[in-house]
Structure 1
Amino acid sequence: MTLPTIKQLRYFVALEKHQHFGNAAKACFVSQSAFSVAIKELESHLGAQLVDRTNKSVTITRTGREIANHARLCLRDLEYLAEVAHSDQKPLTGRLNLGVIPTIAPFILPDLLPNLRSSFPDLRLYLREDTTRSSHDLLIEGELDLIMIALPYKLSNVEIMPLFKDHFSLACHKNSKIIDPNNYSLNNLPKESVLLLEDGHCLRDHALSACKIRNQDTVSRFAASSLLTLVSMVDSDIGITYLTEMAKNSSLLQNTDIETYPLDEKSYREIGLAWRKGSAREEEFKLLGECIKTMHASQD
């Protein structure tokens, strides 16, 4: 029996993900013709049709989908083998693919990266900013080694290391005509007065939960695509919002007329790291987590 090569498995996993020969080949940094040959060789080795091809589309067969799932597991095991060998080296050396969500990245990375370069000069850190759901998918698929996310969030097949609490504050224009920030009630907010990020950003759900917003009529139907857009709307007194401590203490509110007001101690999200269960680099990830906790504590 002729076994598939690692290259063929990687190419087929990419094809199953992109559903397009050209895009998958580009993602694998190979020409489309070489990519197509490798897929045909894989089908020949396995004696099965994995792809239905037409001029306009690519459809992965039922057998192909099953093969793709097993291929991902095989590739993950091979990566684990490499991690085991890597684990005998100095901690936090070599390549580390880190995923970070957009409501954390711009606030923690500017301070974290110089500290890591100083403490671990042999670490090559590759960053990807994405939503929690997408980052988790990439982690499980092996494209990311570690993700930095906001908790709580339901995740499967991962180990989680909580780092620190990120408290929420009320944010509104200093002369807001919408509410009196010193005398308002969550149960008596004007209709559609609360501005939040759009669905897909976990900060939206965390704000709703941590700030105990029960009446959905108070939440605006218009949602922002980024924190910068959200702050711009609040600065125009279109509505109020809830910002986390790390955002409040950043340059995000500079040159605005926004003021913030602390909420009770139970209104917070928690920042944490997550990695695949069984990772041979778990001790490295914990070391990185301790560095982040120390850095955060020194800024308080």
Structure 2
Amino acid sequence: MILPTLRQLQFLVALGETGSFSRAAEACHVTQPTLSAGIKELEDLFGVSLAERESRGATLTHAGEIAVARASALLADAHALVQSVTSAGALFSGSFQLGAIPTIAPFVLPQIVGLLTRQYPDLKLYLTEDRTQRLIDQLRARTLDAAFIALPWEAPGIEVMTLFDDEFLLAAPAGHPLSRKNGLSPDDLEDQDLLLLEDGHCLREHSLSACRLKPGPGREQVAATSLGTLVNMVAGGLGVSLIPRLAADHGLPIGSDVAIRPFVTPVIGRQIGIAWKAGSPREAEARRIGEIVSAEFASRRAAAE
């Protein structure tokens, strides 16, 4: 009897979780033709169709749903087997795949890499930076062990440990009226040209939600691809923006032509958390990373006060 390979099963589970051949291929770090070929090999092996290919994605057949459920359990067992054998009960004795979104990665990862590698010298840490949904897809496909994301973010099958609150600060051109206003509040942004990250970045939605603002025509015309670009747009006088304190305090280059101001009542725009797939054998390590990050940033903020 010919049995399916774990890689083929991983392809199928990723397809079931993403509903898309292209996104499943991204989550598995392979090309779409490679993933499609793997699914076709499974279908030939089982003698049934596992997925219906559609113009906007893919839908599992009944047989495909049964196969995904069993394959997920097999993959979980395989990961647990590898982890238990390689680690022999010790945390971080092998490789660990850690992801982070772009508005967190530059300000968290450099601080913790050194801490982790000093505490766990046998650890081989691999880092990935991507948008939230892509990181979630990779967690589900088990190509990532854990990822730093911004909360709130709903993702079935994903568990999260909240680490700390991240306050939003106003970024305005130097000399802008709001840069000198006492008692600054989110209401002061209502009639301003508010610069945001482009659609698809969770910071965009968190910014609008935190200040109870709605996207308007002016806010749709100009959008940045990164926090650095956003600051440069503010410096150029194109408008004002909201910057996470995490970024402002930990390496985001902000020149003298940009004023950073807190609101009189702190605006907690998001929470920083670490996420992993429910039932993951790496949960203990993900939680340990979360504890290290939480303690490190709590001490840094205490020292700054």
Normalising by structure 2, we get a TM-score of 0.79
Match of 1:267, SS? strand
Q: RMSD of the alignment, in Å?
A: 3.4
Alignment-derived partner of residue 267 in structure 1: 268
Q: What residue in structure 2 maps to residue 164 of structure 1?
A: 164
What one-letter code is carried by the residue in structure 2 that aligns with 1:267? I
Question: How far did 1:217 drift?
Answer: 4.1
Q: How does 1:130-279 map to 2 (within 5 A)?
A: 130-176=130-176, 179=178, 181-183=180-182, 186-189=186-189, 191=191, 193-210=193-210, 212-217=211-216, 220-221=219-220, 222-263=222-263, 264-279=265-280
Aligned residues: 287
| 2: CA distance, partners of 1:219 / 1:200 | 18
Question: CA separation in 2, counterparts of 1:40 and 1:140?
Answer: 21
Question: Do 1:192 and 1:218's aligned partners in 2 also have CA atoms closer than 8 Å?
Answer: no
2:47 maps to 47
Question: What is the alpha-carbon distance in structure 2 between the residues aligned to residue 128 and residue 87 of structure 1?
Answer: 22
1:118 and 2:118 correspond: yes
8 Å CA contact 2:228–2:253 kept in 1: the answer is no
Residues 11/199 of structure 1: CA separation in 2 closer, same or farther (3 Å cut): closer
Q: Does the 8 Å contact 2:171/2:241 carry over to 1?
A: yes
Cα deviation 1:94-128 (Å, max 9, x = unaligned): 11111100000011112211121211111111111
1:286 is matched with 287
Secondary structure (helix, strand or coil) at the match of 1:168 reads strand
Asked if the contact 1:192/1:219 (under 8 Å) is kept, the reply is no
Amino acid at match of 1:160: V
Percent identity (aligned)? 38
Structure 2 letter corresponding to 1:281: R
Compared with structure 1, are the counterparts of its residues 4 and 165 closer, same or farther at alpha carbon in structure 2 (3 Å cutoff)? same
Three-state SS of the structure 1 residue aligned to 2:289 is: helix
Larger of the two Rg values belongs to structure: 1
Measured after TM superposition, the shift of residue 7 of structure 1 is 4.4
Q: Distance in 2 between matches of 1:45 and 1:274?
A: 35
Contact 1:92–1:123 under 8 Å retained in 2: yes
Once the two structures are overlaid, the 10-residue window that deviates more, 285-294 or 140-149, is: 285-294
In 1, Cα distance between the equivalents of 2:118 and 2:154?
34
CA deviation after TM superposition for structure 1 residue 194, in Å: 0.8
Unaligned runs of 5+ in 2: none
The one-letter code sitting in structure 2 at the alignment partner of 1:146 is A
Q: CA deviation at 1:89?
A: 2.7
Contact 1:190–1:218 (Cα < 8 Å) also in 2: no
The answer on whether the counterparts of 2:169 and 2:267 sit within 8 Å (CA) in structure 1 is: no
Alignment check: 8 A CA contact 1:196 1:219 kept: no
Q: C-alpha deviations, 1:213-254, integer Å up to 9, x for none?
A: 335449622221111111111011110011111111133234
Does residue 78 (structure 1) correspond to residue 81 (structure 2)? The answer is: no
